[in-house]
Structure 1
Amino acid sequence: MALSFQNVYIHRKVAEASSKPCMICFRPSTSVLITSCQKDFFYICPSHLNDRGFATAVIDEAAEAEKRKNEEMAKELEKLKQEFEEKQKRKEEKKKDKDKDKDKKGKEKDKVKEEEEAEKVKIEAEKAKAEKAVEAPSFSEYNLHRNFFNGRQQKYREKQIAKRNMERLKDPMSFPAVPRGDPV
């Protein structure tokens, strides 16, 4: 029999309510490994995915580039936060100086408030962009160890054979006919 499916499994998460026992340790798990053709899947603990004797991660260049991009955005966000904090400190110092000049204080307060609001809006926009980038789903691909993959293929074949046998049992033509003649 030819290969049923390839040894490329994609790691996905399911809801807590849909958790099932891990294939190895039988603890409830929300992580699933599924083949790209969706013929085979099983629940697995995330800790087992780090075990080199079980599976090895397939490094995806696009995913790595996306991860680096997210890290760069996080660094940029930190820079913007620091710059904003420095500006706030400067503004507070200016406010102290402006308290001395009460006549000019009213007009400058309005300008300072407008600037602060503009800065806050910019920071909120940056945070929203960073959160959207982090929430993007990135599924990792794994290759199972030879022994585990052979076991999965054997289980798949057994399921196919059982399915074929059930279909044969449902078909009345697969049974022998009752003898019609007189017994001799």
Structure 2
Amino acid sequence: MSLPNIWHHRKVADSSAKGCDLCYKTTTSVLVTPDKQDHFYVCAAHLKEVRFCKPIVDQAAIDAKKQKEKDDEIIAQAKKDYDEKQRKKREAEKGDDKDSKDKDKAKDSTAEAEKKDESKPKDQDKADSEKASQDEEPRVFELQRTFYQQRLNKKRQAEERKRQAEMSQRNRERLSIPSFFPAVPKDNI
């Protein structure tokens, strides 16, 4: 049962925060193996240190994300073009029926509507950029050799302690049985 050198970065609740294994400051960041065999608390600042770990980048996911952004831009442009054509079409229909005053009012109302529509995407863009910056942080890491070896040693020591505890429990149980010890000979020769 070997421990893989792939660690996923997870966050825990503030109430579950514990000391970092390196600097002992309270942290909510945890590195966990994929099969949850081992975990340890580590500060987010240590994850950026080259001598501690290096991020494992999933190039396929990055490419898919870029492609999705391009597709979203194309769709947004197509919607904008369609809305513009529809607005011009409505203006042309209204122009045949109404005075120039009505045209000015319609232009003002459409201009106000466009300003409102433009302000919403800016707010959404800000929220998307904040979300993207959080998502851009690497989530999978590989520990450097020395730190990985330390984790292996700690795991080995924990297993050894567990095995010794089981052996001492077995020995205590054996010693509590009266028939475990040989009986004193009763025959005098």
**Aligned twin of 2:109:** 113
Given candidates 28, 37, 54, the residue that maps to 2:26 is 28
Q: What TM-score do you get using the length of structure 1 for normalisation?
A: 0.63
Q: In 2, Cα distance between the equivalents of 1:28 and 1:72?
A: 41
**Aligned twin of 1:8:** 6
User: Any idea what the Cα deviations from partners look like across 1:116-172, whole Å, max 9, x if unmatched?
Assistant: 436635763685588468368565211111111111111112222333344445557
Deviation of 1:27 (Å): 1.0
Taking a change above 3 Å as real, the CA distance of residues 120 and 49 of structure 1, as seen in their structure-2 partners, is same
**Aligned twin of 1:157:** 156
Identity rate, percent: 29
Deviation of 1:12 (Å): 1.7
Listed as ranges, the gaps of 5+ residues in structure 1 are 84-102
**Aligned twin of 1:86:** none
Taking a change above 3 Å as real, the CA distance of residues 73 and 123 of structure 1, as seen in their structure-2 partners, is farther
Aligned residue pairs, count: 159
1:56 equivalent to 2:54? Answer: yes
Q: In 2, Cα distance between the equivalents of 1:47 and 1:27?
A: 11
Q: In 2, Cα distance between the equivalents of 1:61 and 1:16?
A: 32
Q: What TM-score do you get using the length of structure 2 for normalisation?
A: 0.61
**Aligned twin of 1:98:** none
Q: Higher mean Cα deviation, 146-155 or 107-116?
A: 107-116
**Aligned twin of 2:96:** none
**Aligned twin of 2:84:** none
Taking a change above 3 Å as real, the CA distance of residues 44 and 70 of structure 1, as seen in their structure-2 partners, is farther
Contact 1:34 1:41 in 2 (8 A): yes
| Aligned residues: CA RMSD | 4.0
The one-letter code sitting in structure 2 at the alignment partner of 1:44 is V
Deviation of 1:7 (Å): 0.4
Q: What is the DSSP-based 3-state SS (H/G/I as helix, E as strand, rest coil) of the residue aligned with 2:45? A: helix
Q: What is the DSSP-based 3-state SS (H/G/I as helix, E as strand, rest coil) of the residue aligned with 2:62? A: helix
Q: In 1, Cα distance between the equivalents of 2:24 and 2:70?
A: 39
**Aligned twin of 1:38:** 36
